[in-house]
Amino acid sequence: MGVLYITHDMGVVAEISDEVTVMYAGQVVESGPVAAIFAAPLHPYTRGLIRSMPRLTSIPKTRLPAIAGTVPAPQAYPTTCRFAPRCPLADDHCRTHAPVLEQHAAAHAVRCFKPGQPS
Ligand code: SF4
């Protein structure tokens, strides 16, 4: 039996899923096995979601890291990289071209011109 579970909580994903598909502004930005994505997230949005997870080692009463900015309205989705307005790695190429979803490794795909680059 397969179960589709939709959440913003990556902690829940890590607990219950074998495979994860990360979507941003209506597009798949990264997909693959949970273990591979948590070990080495390739898309800046995925890294932002994982960074914002509360952890037992988090310092009490401190703010969790957040992804700056807001999701655009569907009628205002950029025709280039949809995450570019919020991405710390965005450059002129990202703001003028649209990345496609590409296989990075077996069963691990990402939509980004700079997969895996630290952000
Ligand atoms: S393509 Fe560029 S702007 Fe879009 S997520 Fe990747 S680095 Fe960021």
Classify residue 117: in a domain, yes or no.
Answer: no
pLDDT tens-digit profile of 14-23?
999 999 999 9
Q: DSSP character for 76?
A: G
Do residues 43 and 111 touch, judged by C-beta distance below 8 A? yes
- Asked whether residue 47 carries a pLDDT value surpassing 90, the answer given is yes
Cα angle for residues 54, 60, 62 (degrees, 5° grid): 80
Structural domain total, the chain: 1
Instruction: Confirm whether 105 is domain-assigned.
Output: yes
Ligand 1 site, residue 94, Cβ cutoff 6 A: yes
Pocket test for ligand 1, best of 82, 114, 117 (most atoms within 8 A of CB): 114
- Give yes or no for a contact between 86 and 78, defined as CB atoms under 8 angstroms apart: no
What percentage of the chain has pLDDT greater than the value 70? 100
Q: Whose Cα sits closest to atom 6 in ligand 1?
A: 112
Q: In this structure, is residue 116 part of a structural domain?
A: no
For residue 14, is it within any domain?
yes
Computed over every residue of the chain, the mean pLDDT equals 94
Mean per-residue pLDDT, 75-102: 97
Residue 38 belongs to a domain: yes
C-alpha–C-alpha distance, residues 116 and 25, integer Å: 20
pTM of the model: 0.93
Cβ of 116 closer than 6 Å to ligand 1, yes or no, is: no
- Which structural domain, as residue segments, surrounds residue 40? 10-53+64-110
